[in-house]
Structure 1
Amino acid sequence: METNRIQELGDALYTAFVERRTIAPLTDQLPDLTLEDAYRIQERFIARRLEAGERIVGKKIGATSKPVQQFLGVYQPDFGQLTSGMVFTGGATLDLNGLIQPKAEAELAFVLKEDLNGPGITAMDVIRATDYVVPCFEIVDSRIDDWKIKIQDTVADNASCGVYVLGETRGDPRKLDLTLAGMVLEKNGELFSTGVGAAVQGSPVNAVVWLANTLGELGIPFKAGEVILSGSQSQLVPVVDGDELVCTVGGLGSCRVKFSGRSAV
């Protein structure tokens, strides 16, 4: 695809982000859109956010678990970039007025103390390079009409990333069984879903390995201090004004977030 068309589509997604509205699926406009072109569109979208003053603070893995894949109709993992404008701390009240059609997912975040340069990264490399893990929520959001996405649409739209909320309880991944650690998600004080680390590509660590090696082949390293969201261990949760979510990971702790205001859709 020609560079000017890539820029046009990335700019359209950025404008939709700023104006809190959606656009038609890119795959409706361009049925032959490739994954390679979709990632180039994502780069343009993120470049516009960086030009506006944000900075890259990490990466996210999307569509790693079966519940999320089934909801989205996307059956392979993808990745996006985390920026400084996306991060919140657990216990915060998140204003939905800044989002379009948000849904929450509970997962595990890895915070790095060392760089990782793929390919060739192993699970042991990831554990060694991780400073700590925390339970977290990613609030996914789509700039595509009614979440009618194919893999190319969500990739171009920065893996449908909205914002994320990091828990305050830090755990040492060398002392936790991240594969078997159970996760309980509560919505407004009632059980919503349960999960386990093994639901994410066999282990959240495996998901991070996949991303480190995939990005390494593209010449993109993980940097010390970056946050890596490893993929949802829960079903997607619709959220509205007044909702409160708590996810608790066995042996680690909890992350809590409240919501106020009204999203665009």
Structure 2
Amino acid sequence: MADALCIQRVMVAELDVVVGPHVGWKVGLTSETVQERFGADAPVAGALLAGMIWPSELPVARDFGARPMVEADLAVRVADPAIMQASDHAEVLAAIDWVLPFIELVDLMVADPATLDAWSITAINVGARGGVLGEPVPVTQEMGETLAAMTVVIESEGGEVLGEYPGSAILGHPLDAVLWLVDELAARGETLDAGELLSLGSFGPLFAVDEHDAFRVRYEGLVPDQVPEVEVRFE
């Protein structure tokens, strides 16, 4: 893993020149099933850069990566660097100000993704290539419950439901991905600053970009009287 993190740092430094500066982090391998598949016993983390974050109103090139994939994700925005001392969900909620619908655009990069493991996934910056953000949802204390209890629905361009997943699909609770990341970054000697985006992981399997012209993700039960959503369209 030390070698993998070294490779990641070198690659991100090279990407910084053409993609833009650091704006946050992504967490990957956030379910036991996926961890078992890749021989991992914990999640992994990679960097997000400014040019990786795209608005939902703009179409995305279908060939954005070597092996482009789509996943139903969720992001939060850091409001207070004190998040680095967070030890429970309430303290995380107190240190973030937005929950953001997020479709991550992942690039598995290698010729045979079946050969990937936790170390090689870390080395390729956890496949971070881009992502589409929806409208931010202000944080409430009720999200301590609703984030885990919500249903995340991913649909095709015609409204066909491709999958429905509980919020608890990410480590039992999406905020647990934040707590894991805080510990991981502390071990790396890194910190979080106000304004950073944190991509918390996939609620379900990855979908190949060539299967559909668009994907929509909805977050049912996250907040009362509203269903936050985000869509990505390909060209």
**CA distance in structure 2 between the aligned counterparts of 1:146 and 1:199, rounded to whole angstroms:** 26
- Corresponding letter in the other structure for 1:178: L
C-alpha displacement of 1:54: 1.3
C-alpha displacement of 1:212: 0.9
Query: Bigger radius of gyration, 1 or 2?
Result: 1
Give 1:134-213 correspondences, 5 Å limit: 134-147=100-113, 148-176=115-143, 177-188=146-157, 189-213=159-183
Alpha-carbon deviations, 1:31-50, whole Å to 9, x = none?
A: xxxx1110111000001112
Structure 1: stretches of 5+ with no match in the other structure? 1-34, 261-265
Give 1:85-100 correspondences, 5 Å limit: 85-100=51-66
Alpha-carbon deviations, 1:176-202, whole Å to 9, x = none?
A: 311111111112320000111111111
C-alpha displacement of 1:150: 1.1
Give 1:4-153 correspondences, 5 Å limit: 35-52=1-18, 54-66=20-32, 68-69=34-35, 72=38, 74=40, 76-116=42-82, 118=84, 121-147=87-113, 148-153=115-120
**CA distance in structure 1 between the aligned counterparts of 2:85 and 2:184, rounded to whole angstroms:** 7
Q: 199, 210, 213: which one pairs with 1:240? A: 210
Partner SS state of residue 81, structure 2:
coil
**CA distance in structure 2 between the aligned counterparts of 1:212 and 1:195, rounded to whole angstroms:** 25
**Aligned in 2, Cα 1:106/1:38: closer, same or farther, shift over 3 Å?**
same
Contact 2:68–2:106 (CA under 8 A) maintained in structure 1: yes
- Corresponding letter in the other structure for 2:181: L
- Corresponding letter in the other structure for 2:62: L
C-alpha displacement of 1:173: 4.0
Q: Which residue of 2 aligns with 1:6?
A: none
Question: Once superposed, what is the RMSD of the aligned Cα atoms?
Answer: 2.0
Structure 2: stretches of 5+ with no match in the other structure? none
Alpha-carbon deviations, 1:119-141, whole Å to 9, x = none?
A: 66432221111111011111110
**Aligned in 2, Cα 1:67/1:92: closer, same or farther, shift over 3 Å?**
farther
**CA distance in structure 1 between the aligned counterparts of 2:41 and 2:70, rounded to whole angstroms:** 19
**CA distance in structure 2 between the aligned counterparts of 1:137 and 1:55, rounded to whole angstroms:** 21
**CA distance in structure 2 between the aligned counterparts of 1:165 and 1:157, rounded to whole angstroms:** 20
- Corresponding letter in the other structure for 2:204: S
Alpha-carbon deviations, 1:197-234, whole Å to 9, x = none?
A: 11111101011111011101222111100100011112
C-alpha displacement of 1:88: 0.8
- Corresponding letter in the other structure for 2:161: L
**CA distance in structure 2 between the aligned counterparts of 1:124 and 1:175, rounded to whole angstroms:** 10
**CA distance in structure 2 between the aligned counterparts of 1:233 and 1:88, rounded to whole angstroms:** 20
**CA distance in structure 1 between the aligned counterparts of 2:86 and 2:34, rounded to whole angstroms:** 28
Contact 2:69–2:108 (CA under 8 A) maintained in structure 1: no
Q: Which residue of 2 aligns with 1:4?
A: none
Query: Could you tell me the percent identity over the aligned residues?
Result: 28
**CA distance in structure 2 between the aligned counterparts of 1:144 and 1:127, rounded to whole angstroms:** 37
Q: Which residue of 1 aligns with 2:186?
A: 216
Partner SS state of residue 148, structure 2:
coil
**CA distance in structure 1 between the aligned counterparts of 2:15 and 2:160, rounded to whole angstroms:** 37
Moved more, 245-254 or 67-76: 67-76
